[in-house]
Amino acid sequence: MNEVTDTADRNVGRTIRIGTRGSRLAMAQTGTIAAMLQSAGCRVELVPISTPGDRSSAPIAEIGVGVFTSAVREALLEGQVDVAVHSYKDLPTAPEPGIALAAVSKREDPRDALVARDGLTLGELPPGSRVGTGSPRRMAQLRALGLGLDVVPIRGNIDTRLGKVTSGELDAVVLARAGLARTDRLGLVTEVLDPIQMVPAPAQGALAVETRADDVDTEHLLHTVVDDAATRVAVTAERALLAALEAGCSAPVGALAEVVEDLNGEGAVVERLSMVGVAATAVEGDAVQMLRASATADTSEANKLGRMLAAELLDLGAGAVSR
């Protein structure tokens, strides 16, 4: 009997309460985790939780990291739910006392996507086109491309943002491809952006699944049924870079790591972790330059790799950028 089958047998009939934001995207994301737990014999109850981020219309840069996750974590710690599911990129990098990261699910495509009027790609948008995004990282990288676009901050759920293109208020919006995939909106994408142009946010496309640190049975269940080792090691490196940069600059940051096959000194195929990181730095006037660093390391050195690239970006001049 394998570990997954054994875990399923031990959880037949168990009800797991899963806390999540109530947005369409969050519910869709949580539904993928619920389906995995159901396949392990558990009954599942989804518990929507309203967060301060859902109730605020202020820009993300003003209301801060963690505003979409704090209420869900509070419900977990208070015993209202057994499991919390988050977009991993929304979680603060500092650990939360009393909470364990039990699993990181297999990652969706982490790239950013463009939805533009008339089926246009980024390079086809004429100078002066209004392009909306809620992410300082995307804003900085779009401006650094030097295409003459008018990049404007926006808030709202996926449908609200897409509606700004349909109505003509904006010429295009940039969103995470993963969110569009999870809400069946991929047919609207006019271009999936190459990470050479737009490096994604650290942990974009990955889901973090948490439980209480003292709930070892649920933690074991989630790790066995949900956790994807390759995704976990990649996002560990990306978030290590983010954590190191948060201490040294306030610039928008992007990072993308992936497990790749390589040859060792004896010519045998081994798995390695390849990573690129970017951070913005201000140049003359309002212009922005994206600094880039890349490296490869053993998969066991994910934290070290992220910190090393962060140090290189700081040495290159990553720093505060007006948002």
The token pair that represents 247 in the structure block: 């201490």
What integer pLDDT is reported at residue 169 of this predicted model?
97
Known active-site residue 90: yes
DSSP, residue by residue, 174-223: EEEHHHHHHTT-GGG-SEEPPTTT-PPPTTTT-EEEEEETT-HHHHHHHH
DSSP, residue by residue, 218-286: HHHHHHHHT--HHHHHHHHHHHHHHHHHHTT----EEEEEEEEEEE-TTS-EEEEEEEEEEEEEE-STT
What integer pLDDT is reported at residue 166 of this predicted model?
96
What integer pLDDT is reported at residue 63 of this predicted model?
46
Query: pTM for the complete prediction?
Result: 0.89
Cα–Cα distance measured from residue 180 to residue 158, given in angstroms and rounded to the nearest whole number: 8
What's the average pLDDT block by block, 10 residues per block, for the chain (323 residues)? Answer: 58 84 92 95 93 54 63 95 95 94 97 98 97 93 94 92 97 97 96 96 97 97 97 97 82 93 82 95 75 96 97 88 51
DSSP, residue by residue, 69-93: THHHHHHHHTTS-SEEEEEGGGS-S
Q: At what angle do helices 229-246 and 302-316 cross, to 10 degrees?
A: 30
169 three-class SS = coil
Catalytic hit among 6, 54, 90, 112:
90
What integer pLDDT is reported at residue 323 of this predicted model?
46
Give the position of tokens 């010429």.
171
Cα distances (Å, whole numbers) of residue 35 to 42, 46, 72, 213, 292: 9, 11, 20, 23, 39
What residues have CB less than 8 Å from 170, skipping those under 6 apart? 130, 131, 132, 152, 154, 164
Cα–Cα distance measured from residue 200 to residue 180, given in angstroms and rounded to the nearest whole number: 15
The b/e string for 209-237 (b: 16+ C-beta within 10 A; e otherwise) is bbbbbebeebbbbbbbbbbbebbbbbbbb
